[in-house]
Structure 1
Amino acid sequence: MASTPDRISVTGIRVRAHHGVFEFEREEGQEFVIDVTVAVDLAAAASGDDLARTVHYGELAVAVARAVERDPVDLIETVAERVAGVALGFDGVDEATVTVHKPQAPIEVPFDDVAVTVVRSRT
C-alpha cells in the first residue's frame, strides 16, 4: 500500500515513565517527550467534515501516553517501536513516524536532547 501524503501530527506528548538501563532510572522515573505523525488519507474527512473518517488526535495522544507509561524497558528504541505499533492500530493509518525524546538521559556532558525516531508502515 502506498503511503498517503496527508499527515496528522501530535508533538510534545509528555509522559513520566520508568524506562532506562540504570536502576535509578527504573526507580525514580523521568519525563519522556513523544512526537507522533501518522499518514492517513484525509480527503473523505475533509470533504464530509466527518470525524469518523479521520484519526481523532486526542484519542491518539492518550493511546500514545498509555503505551509509554506501561511496562518499563531498557531502550527508547523499544518505546518508539511500541508507540508506532499503537499508532498503526488506528483505522486508516498507513504509516507512523515516532520520535521519543529523553531530555533527562544520564549523559556526562551538557546536552539539549536525546531522541530516537522510527518510521513504520502497515506493509
Structure 2
Amino acid sequence: MKIEAMKISLEEMHFYAYHGVFPQERCVGNDFVLQLTLWAEVAGSLEHDDLTETISYADVYEVVKAEMAIPSQLLEHVVGRISQRLFEDFPRLSRLSLTLSKRNPPFPGEVRSASFSLEASREG
C-alpha cells in the first residue's frame, strides 16, 4: 500500500470566547467555530493499535481550548497562537489547515460569520 497523506480532522469545534476589536466584544463574548485539519506522520498507528503512534484528538482539543480562552483583538492573532502551539506540542505534525469563524460579527449588515483561515507547515 502506498500512503498518499495522513490527516486528522476536528470539525466544528464550538467555543464561547472573548475575541474582538471592540471592548464590548472582549467583555460580552461571542460564539466561535473552529475547523482544523492536521497532516502528520502517524503510519505506525496503522499497524500498531497504540496512541503513542499518532496524535491524540483529545490533546489537540485541549490545546485549542486553552488558546481560545486567551482574549485577542484579531482572529488572525488567535489562529497564529493556536498554530504555533500545535507545532510546538506535536512533533509528528507536519502541516495544518485552520479556519476560525466568529458568528454574527458586530457590524451593520446581515453576516452569518466572519472567518480567518491559515495553512501552514513545519519549518525545515
Q: TM-score of the superposition, structure 1-length normalised?
A: 0.89
Partner of 1:104: 104
Partner of 1:85: 84
SS in 2 for 1:78: helix
SS in 2 for 1:102: strand
Name the aligned partner's letter for residue 74 of structure 2: L
What is the CA distance between 1:96 and its match in structure 2?
Answer: 1.6
Map 1:24-63 → 2, pairs under 5 A: 24-63=24-63
Ranges in structure 1 where 5+ consecutive residues have no aligned partner: none
What is the CA distance between 1:62 and its match in structure 2?
Answer: 1.4
Q: Is the 8 A contact 1:13 1:65 kept in 2?
A: no
- Distance in 1 between the 2:6 and 2:65 partners? 23
Q: TM-score of the superposition, structure 2-length normalised?
A: 0.89
Displacement over 6 Å in runs of 4+: none
Ranges in structure 2 where 5+ consecutive residues have no aligned partner: none
Per-residue deviation, residues 91-123 of structure 1 (Å, max 9, x unmatched): 200112111010121131112221110112111
SS in 1 for 2:62: helix
- Distance in 2 between the 1:65 and 1:111 partners? 25
Partner of 1:119: 119
